[in-house]
Amino acid sequence: MRVVVVGGGVVGTMHAWQALARGHRVVQVEREGQARGASVRGLGLLRVGGGVEGDELTAALRGRELWEKLAAEVPALGFRANGSLTVARTEAELSAVARAAELPGAREFEVLDAAGVRRLNPALAGQFAGGLWCGRDATVEPRGALAAVQEHLSTFPGYRWLSGREVRNVDTGLVRDDQGDLHHADVVIVCTGAWLPGLVRELAPDLPVRRVRRQVMETGPLAVELSTSVADGEGRYGARLLMVQRLDGGLTIGDTHAHAEPSDFDVDEPSFGHLAGVAEAVLGRPLPAIRRRWAGVDAQATDPGAVVHRQAIADGLWLVTGAGVRGMTCSPAIAETTVTAAGL
């Protein structure tokens, strides 16, 4: 079949991969030269441990499985099955994370005391009461994973990548871009991430999706190796520490969230300072110099328990958006479900 995917972020790209893997021809259209949204502004953390029981956890577990499968084809993803540690700095936090360990699901949880945390991740030299290990969490390179997947897709003879084109109209069997080109398709899948006005509003005026703003920073190389990703159990400034070490040794640190619209266009220094302070307290050492800070926007489905908003607009025309912070983890599973539902 002929498939047109609108959107070059991780959700759209995973739909392209799933369709190509089933033998279909795919044209993927992206309005920027390369995706610039949440797909490249996150931490590269594949987080099973944070999944809510039900559809979200199912999608996270399947997404994690598919990421590992894709990594066998694309080593440049930088996939590491390194798990995560949620560090509890007080006894109250330790009690809270211990309750999380009782949740059902194949997340490979284990509650550790302070000595157990240090044995698992010797780079953590701060003061804490213990932590929660999740063996199913994993990591890919935050800025490089998407480009690596797209380079892999370019080796499929049935794939075309068209960047710098904004789609103006979609209908059953036909897509028109802003260069006037028409793309015929048996199935059209619209995955425009947090870009919700214009085309998406025309397709679904009452979309149950909100936008979520996040802030993240990158440091230079840390002198020691983190054997796991790291989180904490607090949450001031709407922030909960998430810390991942990249292949170059530097740290990617987030993650602050705000839901108010319209969101500020500037970055918030107090929240960055708070995250940096928590990271240093957990590491027990100063952070390397901060190289970059940025803000990004996710689209998040608001229906209770929804992993994503997936809607059949018409026969052969699908809208998929609202994966939010779950997008990187769950995107392969989200795509697998869509292409199956679309009869691909």
Strands 159-163, 25-30: pairing kind: parallel
Judge if 147 and 272 occupy the same domain. Answer: no
Digit-coded pLDDT (tens) for 131-178:
999 999 999 998 899 999 999 999 999 999 999 999 999 988 999 999
Domain with residue 107: its CATH number is 3.30.9.10
Q: Is residue 36 very low, low, confident or very high in pLDDT (cuts 50, 70, 90)? A: confident
CATH assignment at residue 315: 3.50.50.60
User: In the chain, how many domains are there?
Assistant: 2
Same domain, 267 and 238: yes
- Helix and strand tally (H, E) in the chain? 9, 19
Q: Model-level pTM greater than 0.85?
A: yes
Q: Which of 25-29, 190-194, 196-200, 229-233 has the highest mean pLDDT?
A: 25-29
Whether residues 217 and 194 fall in one domain: no
On the question of pLDDT at 238 being above 60, the answer is: no
Please calculate the CA angle 88-78-97 and round it to the nearest 5 degrees.
15
Q: Are residues 231 and 287 in the same domain?
A: yes
**In terms of domains, do 295 and 225 share one?**
yes
Q: Verify that 92 and 172 share a domain, yes or no.
A: no
Summarize the confidence of residues 312-335 as an average pLDDT: 94
* Poorest-pLDDT segment among 215-224, 236-245, 278-287, 318-327: 236-245
Q: What are phi and psi of 161, to 5 degrees?
A: -105, 120
Beta strands across the sheet bearing 229-232: 109-113, 130-134, 84-88, 229-232, 239-245, 250-258, 209-221, 290-301
Burial 306-322 (b: 16+ CB within 10 A, else e): bbbbbbebeebbbbbbb
Indicate whether 105 and 201 sit together in one domain. Answer: no
CA gap 339, 235 in Å, rounded: 37
Strands 187-190 and 317-321 turn out to be parallel
Integer Cα distance of 275 and 254 in angstroms: 7
Q: Is 222 helix (H, G, I), strand (E, B) or coil?
A: coil
Comparison of pLDDT for 37 and 183, the residue scoring more: 183
- Helical residues (DSSP H) of the chain, grouped into ranges: 10-21, 38-41, 55-73, 91-100, 114-120, 145-153, 199-203, 269-283, 327-341
Whether 215 and 266 share a structural domain: yes
- Domain with 60, as residue range(s), is 2-76+142-208+304-341
Q: By the 8 A CB rule, do 272 and 293 touch?
A: yes
What is the layout of strands, in order, in the sheet containing 317-321? 159-163, 25-30, 2-6, 187-190, 317-321, 309-314
284-310 confidence digits (pLDDT tens): 999 999 999 988 888 999 988 899 999
193 and 218 co-located in one domain: no
- Residue 235: pLDDT above 60? no
Same domain for 199 and 162? yes
Q: Which long-range contacts link 265-273 to residues 24+ away (Cβ below 8 Å)?
A: 265/295, 266/295, 267/215, 267/293, 267/294, 267/295, 268/215, 268/237, 270/237, 271/215, 271/237, 271/238, 271/239, 272/215, 272/217
User: Which of 95-109, 296-310, 327-341 has the lowest average pLDDT?
Assistant: 95-109
